Homo-oligomer: A and B are copies of this chain.
Amino acid sequence: MKNFEIFQYIFFKWTMALLIGLCTGLIGFCNNIGVENIAGFKFLQTINYVRQEKYVKGFTYFAGCNLLLATVTAALCAYIAPAAAGSGIPEVKAYLNGVDAHSILAPSTLFVKIIGSILGVAAGFVVGKEGPMVHTGACIASLLGQGGSRKYHLTWKWLTYFKNDRDRRDLITCGAAAGVAAAFRAPVGGVLFALEEVASWWRSALLWRTFFTTAVVAVVLRSLIGFCRHGNCGLFGEGGLIMFDVNHATTKWSALDLVTLAILGVIGGVLGSLYNYLVDKVLRTYNIINKKGPMFKVLLVITISLLTSCCSYGLPWFAPCTPCPPESGNECPSIGRSGNYKNFNCQDGHYNDLASLMFTTNDDAIRNLFNSNSKNDFHLSTLYAFFGAMYCLGIITYGIAIPSGLFIPVILAGASYGRLIGTLMGQFCNLDAGLFAILGAASFLGGTMRMTVSLCVILLELTNDLLMLPLVMIVLLISKSVADNFNEGVYDQIVKMKGLPFMEIHAEPYMRHLAANDVVTGPLVSFSSVERVGIIIHALRATGHNGFPIIDEPPFTDAPELCGLALRSHLLVLLKAKKFTKQQHLMRSDIKKSFKAIDFAKPGSGKGIKIEDLIIKDEEMNMYVDLHPITNTSPYTVVETMSLAKVAVLFRDLGLRHLCVVPKTPGRPPIVGVLTRHDFTPEHVLGLYPHLKHILK
C-alpha cells in the first residue's frame, strides 16, 4: 500500500467512527423523545379520566393504547424482522466472536429495532432500550462499513474500504459501545461495556477509537438535550447529560454498613441468578410458542401487554393515599407527569406512592427510587408490591417478540429491592434509602449480567455520585461471586440457548485429554494447486466447506506438500473470471495482473458470489485453473498430536476460521484435516467422546 492509501484508510476509519457516533447519538435521542412523548401523552390522558372518576374508561384507554403499540411492535418483529426481537446483545457478542449469523445486522433488523424499541418501551412493557440501542449501534456500524445495502438500493462507493473481518469487527465494536453510551448517556461506561461484555478480541487501538465514538455520542446528546431545554421537544425536557442526577450530599459509612451491604450483595446475587434461571425457563417455553408462527408471536405479546396494563393500572388502587409532606411544597402532588408524588386516585394534598412507581415510564420510576429526599416517600407495602411486580413482569416479558433490553427491568427490580432493604434497615444504617436503591440495582445487575467494571462505571455515570464508587464495587463483587456459583451470565445463557457456536476464551478441561486429530472429522476435500475446474465446481456444490487445503503435487514438486489454504469465496471469484488453461500448467503472474485486491475483499452479508451464479460450460469443466494466486501460503498449522486444549487456545486467541492439521510422521499425505469453529464446540467434541462428559471444570 502506498502512503496515500494508508492515510485514506486511516481517515476513513475515523470518519466511520464519527458517523457511527453521530447516527447512534441521534437515534438514541429520537428514541428518548419518542418514548417520552408517546408514553407521556398516554399517561396524561389516562390521569385525566381518573381525575374525572371515569375509571373504566381510563383503564380502557390506557390498556388500549398499550395494546395498540404492542401489537404494532409485535407485528413488525414477527413479520418483517424476527432477528430484531429480544435484546440483541447476545447476537452482537456472537458476531464479534466470529459467528456470522443470518440477518443479525440487516437493514430491516435495524429499522424494526429502532421503531420497535420506541413503541415497545412506550407501550409500558417492563423492558429497556439499552439492548436494542447496542444492537442498533452495531447495525449502523455494519451498514456504514459495508457501504450501504444493495437490497434497498442504498449504496455508496467511497465507503467500501472495510472488507475484512477485523475492520468490520472493529466498527461493530464501536457501534455497540456507542449504543450503550447513547442509552445510558455514559461514554466511558460504553467503552468498558464493549470491552468487558461484547468484544472477544481487543486491541489498544480499538480502545481509543471506541472512546472517540462514545465521545461523539456524548457531545451529540448534550447538544440535543440543550436544544430541548427550551421546550422544543414536546413533553421531553427533563434531565441533563446525567440521567439520574442524585448527589447524595454526604456518603459516610461505617463498618456496620459494610456488613449490611454484604448481606444486600449476597441476597442480590441469589435473586439475580434466580432471575437468570427463570428467564431461561420462560424463554424456552416462549420459543416453543413463537415457533408456531408469527400469529402466535403477536398473541403472546398481546397477552403480556394486557397483563402489564392490568398491573400498572390496577395495583396502585390497593395502595393507601398518603398526605403530602409539608416540606415538599409545590412538588406534591405532582400535576405533570414526572415527580415523586403522583396524585392518581387520591384527593388533593395526598399522593399515591405506588402510582409514582407503577404508573409512569420506567426511567421515571428508577429516578423516583434513586431519589433520596426523604426516607418515607414509599411505604414498605408499596415497595414489596412493586418489587414483586417488576421481578415477575421482567421475567415474563423477555422473550416475547419485541425489542427488549434487560438492563432496565433488572435495575427496576434491583432498585426496589435495595430501597426495600434500605427502608427496613432505616434506623440502623447511615446510608439513605436512595443510595440503597442504587446499591440494590448494582447487586441485581451483578447477579444477572456478571459484569463488574463496566456496570460500576455505567452506574457512576448514570448517577454522578463518585463517592459511592467503593460501595458499588463491593456490592457488585459480592453479588457476582455469589451468582457465579449457580449459573452463568444472562447473555452467555442466551447465546448458548440460541445455539450459536461461541468460542470461549478458555479451553474446556476435557480438551486436555484429546489431540488435534481426535476431532478432525469428515472426508477431507483438498485441491491440487493446479486443479481441474470440474473437480472444484463439484466440491463446492457437494460440500459447505469454506476453506480448502491446496496441495502442491508432482510434476510441480518432488512429493506432495501443503501449499496453503484457499477460501470458497476466493475460489468463486477466480472461477467467475474464467482464467482457465487447457493444460495443467502454472500461470500465476498472468492471473495476478487481472485482479485487484478489492476483488477478493470479503463481501457484505448476502452480497458474495454464489456457486449458483456461476455459468461454466461443459468444455470448461475439463480445463485447468491455477489456484496459487488465491492460496494463502502461510496458513496456521498444528501437528496432529498436539493437545486439543492448546489448539483451541491458538484458534481462539488468533481469531482463526480454519486451522490446518498436519501429520507428525513423514510419508503420509501432507494434511490430515482442517479444523473449524464447529470442531471445538462441546456438542461436537462430547458427541465424539461422550465418556469425557464427567470431567469437571
Contacts and interface: CB of A to CB of B under 8 A. Distances in A.
Interface of A: 3, 187-188, 191-192, 195-196, 202-204, 207-208, 211-212, 215, 218-219, 222, 240-242, 452-453, 456-457, 460-461, 464, 466-467, 469-470, 473-474, 477, 480, 505, 558-559, 561-562, 633-634, 636-639, 641-643, 646, 649-650, 653-654, 664-667, 696
B654 A211 contact: no
Contacts of A636: 638, 646, 650
Contacts of A215: 470, 473-474, 477
A104 B187 CA distance: 37
A122 B403 CA distance: 59
Contact of A466 (B466, B642, B653): B466
A476 to B, nearest CB: 8
Contact of A204 (B196, B203, B222): B196
A514 to B, nearest CB: 11
A188 B469 contact: yes
Contact of A638 (B505, B637, B664, B667): B637
Contacts of A664: 561-562
Contact of A666 (B187, B202, B505, B667): B667
The 9 closest A-B pairs by CB, nearest first: A215-B473, A666-B666, A634-B643, A218-B470, A634-B642, A464-B466, A653-B653, A211-B453, A634-B646
A646 B664 CA distance: 22
A211 B456 contact: yes
Nearest to A188: B457
Nearest to A639: B637
Most buried by B among A3, A466, A505, A558: A466
B473 A187 contact: yes
B203 A469 contact: no
Contacts of A452: 207-208, 211
B241 A207 contact: no
B505 A204 contact: yes
A261 to B, nearest CB: 11
Given A215-B470, A470-B218, A654-B649, A191 B453 contact: yes
17 contacts: A187-B470, A187-B473, A188-B456, A191-B453, A196-B204, A203-B505, A208-B477, A211-B473, A240-B467, A466-B466, A562-B639, A633-B641, A636-B638, A637-B637, A637-B639, A650-B650, A654-B654
Contacts of A666: 559, 666-667
Given A196-B204, A654-B653, A218 B696 contact: no
A218 B633 contact: no
Contacts of A650: 636, 650, 654
A95 to B, nearest CB: 18
A635 to B, nearest CB: 8
Contacts of A219: 470, 474
A502 to B, nearest CB: 14
Nearest to A516: B634
Contacts of A696: 3
Contacts of A649: 654
B466 A208 contact: no
Contacts of A470: 187, 215, 218-219, 222, 241
Contacts of A638: 636-637
A211 B456 CA distance: 10
A466 B242 contact: yes
Contacts of A643: 634
B634 A208 contact: no
A594 B215 CA distance: 60
A453 B204 CA distance: 10
Nearest to A242: B466
Contacts of A203: 505
A642 B559 CA distance: 19
B196 A207 contact: yes
Nearest to A241: B467
A486 B292 CA distance: 63
A641 B646 contact: no
Contacts of A466: 242, 460-461, 464, 466
A641 B242 CA distance: 56
Given A192-B192, A562-B639, A636-B650, 9 more contacts: A191-B453, A211-B453, A211-B473, A215-B470, A215-B474, A466-B466, A561-B665, A634-B646, A650-B650
Contacts of A456: 188, 211
Contacts of A474: 215, 219
Contact of A202 (B202, B457, B561): B202
Nearest to A255: B223
A212 B218 CA distance: 28
Contacts of A473: 187, 211-212, 215, 218
Contacts of A464: 466-467
